[in-house]
Structure 1
Amino acid sequence: MIRALVFGRNGQLGRSLAMRSGDFAGVSLQLLDRNACDVLQPTSIARAIDLHRPDVIINATAYTAVDLAENNGELAQRINCDAVRVMADNAERQSVPLIHISTDYVFDGEGKTPYRETDRVSPLGVYGQTKLAGEEAVQEITERHLIFRTSWVYSPFGKNFVKTILRLLSVKNEISVVNDQQGCPTSSLDLAEAILRILPIVTRTGFAKFGTYHLVPDTQMTWCQFSCAIQSEATKLFGEKWPGADCQIQAVTSAQFPTMAKRPSYSVLSTTKFKANFGFGLPGFGHSLIEVLQNLAKGEDYA
Structure 2
Amino acid sequence: MKINSVLIATALLSPLAMAAPHSASGIILTYDLDGNEKLSLEEFVDARRQRFAATDTNHNGTLEEDEYVYEWEGKMTTRMQADRKASVKQTHIRFNAIDKDDNKQITKAEMDAVGERGFDFMDQNKDGVILASDPDPVREGRADNSDDKPKLEQRPMLRMPTTHNIEGFMGLYDTNGDEKVDKAEFQAVRDEQFARTDENGDGVLTEQEYVLEFEDRLDAQYEKTYDGQVKQTYVRFGVLDKDENGHMTFNEYMQSGFRSFSRYDTTGDGFITLDDPAPVFKRESTESDDKATQTASVNN
Tell me which interval the TM-score lies in, with the shorter structure as reference length.
under 0.3
More helix by share: 2
Q: Choose between structure 1 and 2: higher strand proportion.
A: 1
Query: Whose relative contact order is higher, 1 or 2, with alpha carbons under 8 Å and at least 6 apart?
Result: 2
